[in-house]
């Protein structure tokens, strides 16, 4: 547990450092190119942990104690006195196009980082799980559409889906504005190609609790294996009942058990209830009594007996895939993925603002750190992919027309272009106060969701 926390924290800090550095360097690089004097380039806020003075303009480079952001401080008459000889290098004296270029350079740098990151993973290959469907939930959209165990999703509305990650994105993206059922091409376990017509409901996907794709009734595929005990965990209900590795469970309370999943379906709802098992051991039938222990999963109490199956690991290898492209094709894929994820992020934000998606979908630093640790533990390909995704989210968020964000400054500049003069300081100050309030509320909600997930 402790090691997982350390890995998540380190992976999060490294990713955050890269994202902030690239974003602020975008502002810094363009400011220098248009002749603006940069006073400070800071990664983080608060007390300086490391400081160096550059050779050009004596710019101060700082790494500060609070790593949740950064800034580029430029010469500006609104923030201090400027000598007459340097007034032409102040930010507020630059033409509108130059100020706009400096502001937009930060988000643009994050988009470029995402393209490069996706390009790298598309070239080296990213491992994934084939989009094989488990048994759909009863009376769900997936079940009504006719999905069956081990169907492989080939495409969604014509968009290829080589991995489950691609299938999830395609399902979510296609369903956001879907007025008709999604057309999903599948390949059955026997190799037959067919089309499934999947009716989608945004209310079910985005406004209900839980995973949006799971809300459609999709379950993760897992091999069907025999109900043979692989390992018995010490101190569990199975050990107390006398179960041993190699035992084959034949029935539970007189009902035949044909697969491991069937065994789980008997145990899971039976917390604290004695079960009569018939097992086969060394050719002999034995009757055992076992009482599953209650175990909390979120708000649900389920039964657990302390056993593991060991047959499925080798069978599950057929679901492992690696997606890889030649360099030129990989670059095209990177551009397309960056565009698709940017559009999807923006559309999801719109759904949140309109109340068409649950606010539970908003994640904060704790959840992002967990995702960072999980992706880093899987492999460098998934970690780079994670950085690309967060970089896109950061770019899109910063372009929102909210004062205090880059998009807010661009909004002010647009008003200046229309009016022929800047907005009054009073109006800009009021806008900043509104922006701080909105960002504060968003941050509070994100932390609240993170903490709630931890408790669950």
What pLDDT is stored for residue 251 in this prediction? 94
User: How would DSSP label each residue in 7-75?
Assistant: HHHHHHHHHHHHHHHHHHHHHHHHHHHTTPPEEEEEEEEEEEEEEEE-SSTTPEEEEEEEEEEEEEEE-
Backbone angles phi, psi at 429, to 5 degrees: -65, -40
What pLDDT is stored for residue 451 in this prediction? 77
What pLDDT is stored for residue 420 in this prediction? 87
Question: Confidence class of residue 411 from pLDDT cuts 50, 70 and 90?
Answer: very high
What pLDDT is stored for residue 246 in this prediction? 93
- Contact by Cβ (8 Å): 135, 219: yes
Task: Look at residue 211 and tell me whether its pLDDT is greater than 80.
Answer: no
Q: How confident is the prediction for the chain on average, in pLDDT?
A: 87
Q: What percent of the chain has pLDDT over 70?
A: 93
Task: Look at residue 5 and tell me whether its pLDDT is greater than 60.
Answer: yes
* Edge-first strand listing for the sheet containing 152-156: 159-160, 152-156, 182-187, 193-198
In order of 182, 194, 277, 342, 400, the CA distances from 175 in angstroms are: 7, 20, 45, 16, 23
Task: Look at residue 123 and tell me whether its pLDDT is greater than 70.
Answer: yes
What pLDDT is stored for residue 207 in this prediction? 57
- Contact by Cβ (8 Å): 238, 292: no
What pLDDT is stored for residue 205 in this prediction? 65
What pLDDT is stored for residue 178 in this prediction? 66
What pLDDT is stored for residue 418 in this prediction? 92
Which pairing describes strands 231-232 and 307-308: parallel, antiparallel, or unpaired?
antiparallel
Q: What pLDDT, in 10s, does the model give residues 162-174?
A: 998 899 888 888 8
User: How would DSSP label each residue in 119-160?
Assistant: HHHHHH-EEEE--BB-PPPTTSHHHHTT--TT-EEEEETTEE
Question: Confidence class of residue 2 from pLDDT cuts 50, 70 and 90?
Answer: low
Task: Look at residue 226 and tell me whether its pLDDT is greater than 60.
Answer: yes
What pLDDT is stored for residue 332 in this prediction? 95
Selected residue with higher pLDDT from 134 and 291? 291
Q: What pLDDT, in 10s, does the model give residues 38-91?
A: 999 999 988 999 999 999 999 999 999 988 889 999 999 888 888 888 899 999
Report CA Rg, the chain: 28
User: 49-58, 287-296, 298-307: which range is least confident on average?
Assistant: 298-307
Q: What percent of the chain has pLDDT over 90?
A: 46
Neighbours of 68 (CB within 10 A): 11
* C-alpha angle 126-132-137 in degrees, rounded to nearest 5: 135
Selected residue with higher pLDDT from 182 and 101? 101
Among candidates 346, 445, 338, 442, which has minimal Cα distance to 389? 338
- Contact by Cβ (8 Å): 93, 74: no
Task: Look at residue 113 and tell me whether its pLDDT is greater than 60.
Answer: yes
Question: Confidence class of residue 456 from pLDDT cuts 50, 70 and 90?
Answer: low
Q: What pLDDT, in 10s, does the model give residues 189-209?
A: 888 999 999 888 766 666 555
Q: Where in the chain is the domain with CATH 2.30.42.10?
A: 128-220+311-323, 231-305
Class of the CATH-defined domain 128-220+311-323 = mainly beta
What pLDDT is stored for residue 8 in this prediction? 80
What pLDDT is stored for residue 299 in this prediction? 60
Among candidates 41, 31, 34, 23, which has minimal Cα distance to 109? 23
Spatial distance between the Cα atoms of 297 and 310, rounded to a whole number of angstroms: 23
Catalytic choice (24, 173, 185, 309): 24
- Which range has highest mean pLDDT (203-217, 268-282, 442-456)? 268-282
Spatial distance between the Cα atoms of 352 and 356, rounded to a whole number of angstroms: 6
Spatial distance between the Cα atoms of 206 and 355, rounded to a whole number of angstroms: 10
Partners of 352 in beta bridges: none
Q: Which fold has domain 231-305?
A: Pdz3 Domain (2.30.42)
Alpha carbon 280 to its chain's center: 45
- Contact by Cβ (8 Å): 122, 381: no
Among candidates 238, 245, 246, which has minimal Cα distance to 288? 238
Q: Is 24 a catalytic residue?
A: yes
Spatial distance between the Cα atoms of 319 and 341, rounded to a whole number of angstroms: 25
Q: What pLDDT, in 10s, does the model give residues 353-376?
A: 776 666 666 777 777 777 888 888
Task: Look at residue 31 and tell me whether its pLDDT is greater than 90.
Answer: yes
- Which range has highest mean pLDDT (110-119, 393-402, 440-449)? 110-119
What pLDDT is stored for residue 255 in this prediction? 92
Alpha carbon 283 to its chain's center: 49
């Amino acid at each position: 547990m402790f090691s997982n926390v350390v890995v998540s924290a380190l992976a999060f800090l490294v990713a955050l450092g890269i994202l902030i550095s690239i974003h602020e360097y975008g502002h810094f690089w363009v400011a220098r190119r248009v002749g603006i004097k940069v006073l400070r380039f800071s990664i983080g806020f608060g007390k300086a942990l490391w400081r160096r003075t550059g050779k050009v303009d004596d710019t101060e480079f700082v790494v500060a104690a609070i790593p949740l952001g950064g800034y580029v401080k430029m010469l500006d008459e609104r923030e201090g006195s400027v000598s007459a000889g340097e007034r032409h290098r102040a930010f507020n004296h630059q033409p509108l196009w130059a100020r706009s270029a400096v502001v937009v350079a930060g988000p643009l740098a994050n988009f470029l980082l995402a393209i490069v990151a996706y390009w790298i993973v598309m070239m080296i290959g990213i491992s994934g799980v084939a989009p094989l469907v488990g048994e759909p939930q009863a009376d769900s959209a997936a079940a009504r559409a006719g999905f069956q165990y081990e169907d492989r999703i080939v495409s969604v509305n014509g968009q290829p889906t080589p991995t489950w990650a691609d299938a999830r994105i395609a399902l979510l993206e296609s369903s956001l504005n879907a007025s008709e059922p999604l057309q999903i091409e599948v390949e059955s376990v026997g190799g037959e190609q067919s089309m499934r017509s999947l009716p989608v409901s945004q209310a079910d996907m985005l406004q209900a609790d839980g995973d949006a794709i799971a809300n459609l009734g999709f379950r993760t595929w897992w091999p069907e294996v025999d109900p043979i005990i692989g390992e018995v965990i010490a101190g569990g209900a199975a050990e107390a009942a006398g179960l041993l590795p190699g035992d084959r469970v034949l029935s539970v309370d007189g009902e035949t058990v044909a697969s491991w999943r069937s065994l789980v379906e008997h145990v899971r709802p039976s917390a604290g209830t004695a079960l009569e098992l018939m097992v086969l051991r060394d050719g002999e039938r034995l009757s055992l009594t076992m009482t599953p222990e209650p175990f909390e999963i979120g708000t649900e109490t389920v039964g657990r007996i302390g056993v593991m199956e060991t047959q499925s690991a080798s069978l599950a290898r057929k679901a492992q895939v690696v997606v890889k492209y030649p360099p030129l094709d990989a670059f095209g894929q990177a551009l397309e993925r960056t565009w698709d994820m940017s559009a999807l992020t923006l559309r999801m934000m719109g759904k949140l603002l309109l109340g068409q998606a649950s606010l539970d979908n908003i994640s904060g630093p704790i959840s992002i750190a967990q995702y960072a640790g999980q992706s880093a533990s899987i492999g460098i390909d998934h970690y780079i992919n994670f950085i690309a995704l967060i970089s896109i989210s950061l770019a899109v968020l910063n372009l929102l027309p909210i004062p205090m964000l880059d998009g807010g400054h661009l909004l002010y500049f647009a008003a200046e272009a229309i009016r022929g003069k800047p907005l009054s300081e009073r109006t800009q100050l009021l806008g900043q106060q509104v922006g701080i309030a909105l960002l504060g509320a968003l941050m509070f909600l994100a932390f609240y969701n993170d903490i709630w997930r931890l408790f669950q």
